[in-house]
Every structure is written in C-alpha cells, then in structure tokens.
Homo-oligomer: A and B are copies of this chain.
Amino acid sequence: MNGEFSEEEKNGFYKAIFSRRDVRAHFTAEPIDDRTLSKILNAAHHAPSVGFSQPWNFILIKDIEARKKIKSSFDAERKRSSELVEDPKRTKYLSFKLEGILDSAVNICVTYDPSKFGPFVIGKSSIPETGIYSVCCAIQNLWLAARAEGIGMGWVSILSNDDLKKVLEIPEHVIPVAYLCLGYVSEFAQKPDLETSGWLSRLDLKDVVFYEKWNKNNDPSWQTIHQMIVSNLDYA
C-alpha cells in the first residue's frame, strides 16, 4: 500500500493530536511569519468537504480597532452568559481567561458560504448541515497545523455572530463558524485548562463508545476491543 507512515511520522502526527490545546493565555509578542501562516492556511484548505465544495473562507485580522469591537462583543456575551449560572460556578466561570483577542498575533474568522458551487452539491441534499461540518473539519486541520508549527490557537465562542458580521462586513447568507486567535506561546499546557481547574474531567474512552446500537456498552462481537478500552490500555 502506498503512503505507509514510519513510526516517527506517526509519532509526529499523534503529538499534534494530543498536545494541541485551546490557548487563551501565554501568547508572546512574536509575530507569525508569512510562510508559516500560509502553511497553516493551506493545511486548513486541504480539509475534506462535502461534494468537494470547499465552502470555507478565512478572514485574517490584525487591525486593532476591529479587534477592540470584537472584544467588546465578547465582554457583553460573557456577562450575559454568567447570569445563566449560579454561584459558586458563576464566580469560577468569571475567573477564567477565555480569549486572547487583543494579545494574540493574528485573529482569523472562518466562515461558511452555503452558496459555493451550488445549488447542487454532491452529498449535501439529504443532510444540508454537511456544508458547515466541512468548515469545522478545516478548522481542526488549521488548529493541528498551528500546533505542529509551535503556534497556540484559541477558539472564542463567547461572541455575537451579528456583531462579527457587522465588523467584518460579512454578507447575510454567509455564516461565521469560528473566531480564532493565533500566536506563538511561552508554553502549551499539559492538560485542558477546564480539566486542570477541576471544572470538568475528561471522560474515559469507554464512556463514549457504543457497540452496534446507541447505549449498548458491550456486545459479543466487540469483546476484545471492549476489554482493551475498559482496562484503559495505553493505546495512545
């Protein structure tokens, strides 16, 4: 079979998967060089897309005035959402640093254009949401490529999409999918911040895998893998 991976190549791949973090702090002032940024964008552009529709766009943002407006949107939404939860969770929530809009080198807004190569896109007529799912795959490629290049990335989802569309002049039919902050960092955390702070724990793999049907935790034809997952072998 063509394209086998050497052990070291596999290690490099899994290193990106397991050491990728959602980064909100530790950004340094170092700018991202253009070649590295191009590589990361190119990795995103090579994501899978339904019917090869490539329905993504990447808006690169450095302008400080635009970023300040988006930071205001974050502040308003953070306050609003904090009112949905009671203390002591509220105080804990408000203590987290949840964005790096102004302190990262570059912001990127990733958008979904449902009209691209339409109206007939192969594979999109039964489940139209597959268009936006493709954009998410591109975002994950971008995130992992950033990590491989030593660049931290954080996804800011405490935002108003209406504000984003206004500031970035995004047309009515286009959907902002993600607002990302990228920059070199002084360190990558060993674990997700929300795990370290005790907000939530990582689930065991066995808790998210079912066999043959929803909620079926065991099955005769899946005994070996079930044992392997339950005993928590080091399959990483």
Chain B residues, CB < 8 A from A211:
59-60
Chain B residues, CB < 8 A from A177:
133
Q: Given the complex of chains A and B, what is the CA–CA distance between A157 and B50 in angstroms?
A: 8
A70 CB–B CB distance under 8 Å: no
| CB atoms of A213 and B145 under 8 A apart | no
In the complex, how many angstroms separate the beta carbon of A10 from the nearest chain B beta carbon? 5
Stoichiometry, as copies per complex, reads 2
A151-204 interface (Cβ within 8 A of B): 155, 157-161, 168-171, 174, 177-178, 184-188, 192, 194-195, 199-200, 202-203
In the complex, how many angstroms separate the beta carbon of A87 from the nearest chain B beta carbon? 12
Chain B residues, CB < 8 A from A186:
1
Chain B residues, CB < 8 A from A22:
48
Q: Given the complex of chains A and B, what is the CA–CA distance between A157 and B77 in angstroms?
A: 34
- The contact string, 1 if C-beta is below 8 Å from chain B, for chain A 56-93, is 11111111001000000000010011001100010001
Q: Given the complex of chains A and B, what is the CA–CA distance between A231 and B41 in angstroms?
A: 15
